[in-house]
Amino acid sequence: MNAVAQLKLPSVIDDNMILQQNKANTIWGWAAVGEKVNIQFMNRNYHATADKKGEWKIVLSPEKAGPSGDMIITSGKDNRTIKNILFGEVWLCSGQSNMEFTMSGFMDLYKSEISNSKDKDLRFVVVKNSFGNKEARDVLLKNKWSSVDSVSILNCSAVAYFFAKKLRERLRVPVGLVVSSWSGTPAQSWVDTATLKEFSYYNKLYNKSVKPIDFSSIDSLKKEAEDLYRKKIKEAAGSFHKMTAIEYDTTGWEKASLPGIWETLGHPDLDGIAAYRISFTIPAGEENRSAFLHLPAIDDIDSTYINGVFIGSHNVWNQLRVYNVPANILRPGKNIITIWVEDGGGGGGLNMDTENYYLQLGEKQIALKGDAAFKILLSMDSIGAGINFASLQNYPSVLFNAMIAPLLPVNMAGVIWYQGESNASVYKEYRKLFPALINNWRTRFKQKDLPFLFVQLSSYNPDIIEPAESDWAGLREAQTETLKLPNTGMAVTIDVGDQKDIHPKRKKEVGYRLAANALNISYGYKNEVPAGPLYRSSKRMGSSIKISFNNIGKGLEVKGQTLMGFTIAGADKKFVEATAVLKGNEVIVSSPAVNSPMYVRYAWANAPMDANLYNKDGFPASPFRTSK
């Protein structure tokens, strides 16, 4: 920001704000070069002078929790009064959609919570979504500092609200939430450019595609790209219609396995349009019957054809497709499904949901799972000099620059983070990327032990037992490994997920579990177990394996009649469903199909909803595997 001729404050310094108790807080802003700035606050006077850039800052003395009244800031003839300030606990709330989703999306589920939410000492501010290729000095706000009531709460992050509510109940001090999150965004968007040097791909992408952008003309650049993209869509549609013919030759197409998203095919950054062709066989004599085609949720938009005939389209990315297939379309023997899939950001393709991927022909189900042909028709990053303007928020560092960097002077009690869905396909990289993000924020906020609490991925998509591989399980493991960093805590949420919805509705448990970590790590409640059982060690005992845990608390327990969610394998790593028995505070795992067991996995699936190992303190055990 250039030097200015009048007093200016950052947007987060405003009426009703909460400052961090018991720590020095920075008040900063801009004024005319060389101008004196004075603050009257809490019966003290503070002074500063605007530097050559017109910038100034003042560090306030620490204060205990509670009300403080108003702050008067003057510079020359300009003055500002910041009213109704409180001291309390200030938490930064960040991540992607499951942090961003507000209470307005859960009005039926949390009707009572909303109507009884009035609390003048629980306040929040929401940063507006924005991106940039330079570290901004100020943030745009979607919602100014507000105390919670039955109306304002609708604009507050649901997870953050329940986190703060629990802290308010236990600590009896004001709590302030600074919500800065963006749906569908990956972790690499939230680190600074210095951190990118540890990740050569992201560093090159930033320097090639982000750094050169003139963000002052971003709107016109986007419009040009959108106009060109629409033109190219028409060209792609013309080519696609030829591809729907049953005799079409797919030589040169990629091989794919469906259902599944195209990120797993080696296209982690693809946003745009692609085509799939799936072959299936109709027995002779069955072709004249009507049928229903069942498809998983398709991210984002599909247009589906059978044997060259259009049968349906849907534009809601997380909903199942069921299309009527008239009797005259099918033929005996080979038939072809061709699907146009258009994705504007995040994952693209068919969700990994085999249960809803079949043709219903009378009482017969014809499974469609398996091989398919795949072809990219149009990539968004081929438009506008290699920049996908529709998902620019997903490029490296752009969100740190615009939505975190301007908050760095704010003194925080800690961070709560709910993200990972957008990095699931690169879970191995996340083992390094996520700790790098935490260390980056601690360095930039100048708090080397800044508490960082995060939500482990919830349940979504069907269970996977065989083959026993799952990107989501791998991402959860990367999150668990991050607990090796000091002052970190994790809320396990596989039991409150939704197999069919990546945005599970049960946010109260998530917020409360984050709060349990905060109470233990930040507020001295060391005798309270903050989370569920964590895998500690395993020991082979003949034809079984004994599993030991940390975070036992009051002891282990099974919710239900039988302990579920365990698989076991020998040296071949062919995992089968196992029998698991709780003995004291250890679990004994075995299977008659594995005489010489070597490996155990628990809740190792996309949606392990049946996993039911808890501690008696009410927290679910974290998924694990005994060996990689």
Q: In terms of Cα–Cα distance, which of 624, 440, 449, 436 is closest to 538?
A: 624
Is 314 contained in some domain?
Answer: yes
One domain, residues 372 and 405: no
Instruction: Return the sign of the alpha-carbon dihedral for residues 170, 171, 176, 180.
Output: negative
One domain, residues 553 and 489: no
* Residues 606 and 457: beta-carbon distance below 8 Å: no
Residue pointed to by tokens 């965004």: 185
3-state secondary structure of 312: strand
Is 23 contained in some domain?
Answer: no
One domain, residues 375 and 424: no
One domain, residues 405 and 332: no
Is 77 contained in some domain?
Answer: no
Is 216 contained in some domain?
Answer: no
One domain, residues 150 and 107: yes
Band of the pLDDT at 224, cuts 50, 70, 90? confident
Boundary (domain end) residue, out of 488, 521, 554: 521
Per-residue buried b or exposed e for 294-333, using 16+ beta carbons within 10 Å of the residue's own CB:
bbbbbbbbbbbbbbbeebbebeebeebbebebeeebbeee
Q: Are strands 556-558 and 613-615 parallel, antiparallel or unpaired?
A: antiparallel
Read off the CATH number of the domain in which 133 is found.
3.40.50.1110
Of 171-175, 367-371, 388-392, the one with minimum mean pLDDT is 388-392
d(CA 65, CA 88): 5
pLDDT tens digit sequence for 255-313: 999 998 898 788 877 888 999 999 999 998 888 788 999 999 998 899 999 999 999 99
Is 598 contained in some domain?
Answer: yes
Angle among Cα 503, 612, 549 to the nearest 5 degrees reads 110
Q: In terms of Cα–Cα distance, which of 91, 150, 88 is closest to 118?
A: 150
Q: What integer is the mean pLDDT of 501-505?
A: 88
pLDDT tens digit sequence for 158-189: 999 999 999 999 999 999 999 999 998 999 99
Amino acid at 521: I
Residue pointed to by tokens 């740190």: 400
Q: What integer is the mean pLDDT of 607-622?
A: 97
One domain, residues 258 and 354: yes
Q: What is the DSSP string of 10-40?
A: -TTSSTT-EEETTS-EEEEEE-STT-EEEEE
d(CA 305, CA 303): 7
* Residues 11 and 138: beta-carbon distance below 8 Å: yes
* Residues 471 and 424: beta-carbon distance below 8 Å: yes
One domain, residues 235 and 357: yes
Q: How far is CA 348 from the centre of its chain?
A: 16
Residue 217 pLDDT > 50, yes or no?
Answer: yes
DSSP lists the bridge partners of residue 85 as 69
Read off the CATH number of the domain in which 243 is found.
2.60.120.260
Q: What is the pLDDT, as a whole number, of residue 2?
A: 45
Q: What is the pLDDT, as a whole number, of residue 68?
A: 83
Total structural domains within the chain: 3
Boundary (domain end) residue, out of 349, 382, 415: 382
**What values do phi and psi take at 397, rounded to 5?**
70, -10
* Residues 452 and 438: beta-carbon distance below 8 Å: yes
One domain, residues 284 and 406: no
pLDDT tens digit sequence for 556-611: 999 999 999 999 999 999 999 999 999 999 999 999 999 999 999 999 999 999 99
Owning domain of residue 272: 229-382
Is 219 contained in some domain?
Answer: no
HEC per residue, 240-282:
HHHHCCCCCCCCCCEEEEECEEHHHHCCCCCCEEEEEEEEEEE
* Residues 619 and 551: beta-carbon distance below 8 Å: yes
One domain, residues 240 and 350: yes
DSSP lists the bridge partners of residue 615 as 556
* Residues 123 and 20: beta-carbon distance below 8 Å: no
d(CA 404, CA 412): 12
CB atoms within 10 A of CB 465: 16
Is 192 contained in some domain?
Answer: yes
**What values do phi and psi take at 437, rounded to 5?**
-60, -45
One domain, residues 259 and 351: yes
Long-range contacts of 575-580 (CB under 8 A, 24+ apart): 575/465, 575/466, 575/468, 575/599, 575/601, 575/604, 576/465, 576/466, 577/465
Q: What is the pLDDT, as a whole number, of residue 1?
A: 44
Residue 4 pLDDT > 70, yes or no?
Answer: no
Q: What is the mean pLDDT of the chain?
A: 93
What token pair was written down for 359? Answer: 């043709």
DSSP lists the bridge partners of residue 568 as 576, 600
One domain, residues 194 and 262: no
Band of the pLDDT at 500, cuts 50, 70, 90? confident
d(CA 549, CA 552): 7
Dihedral angle at the C-alpha atoms of 561, 567, 570, 574, nearest 10 degrees? 140
Amino acid at 89: E
Q: What integer is the mean pLDDT of 57-65?
A: 97
Band of the pLDDT at 380, cuts 50, 70, 90? confident
Q: What is the pLDDT, as a whole number, of residue 3?
A: 45
* Residues 182 and 100: beta-carbon distance below 8 Å: yes
**What values do phi and psi take at 291, rounded to 5?**
-145, 170
* Residues 532 and 495: beta-carbon distance below 8 Å: no
Tell me what percent of the residues of the chain surpass a pLDDT of 70.
97
Band of the pLDDT at 468, cuts 50, 70, 90? low
pLDDT tens digit sequence for 200-215: 999 999 999 899 988 8
Q: In terms of Cα–Cα distance, which of 428, 431, 489, 433 is closest to 456?
A: 489
Is 60 contained in some domain?
Answer: no
Band of the pLDDT at 382, cuts 50, 70, 90? low
pLDDT tens digit sequence for 226-242: 788 888 899 999 999 99
Dihedral angle at the C-alpha atoms of 222, 227, 232, 237, nearest 10 degrees? 110
Boundary (domain end) residue, out of 322, 356, 382: 382
One domain, residues 365 and 417: no
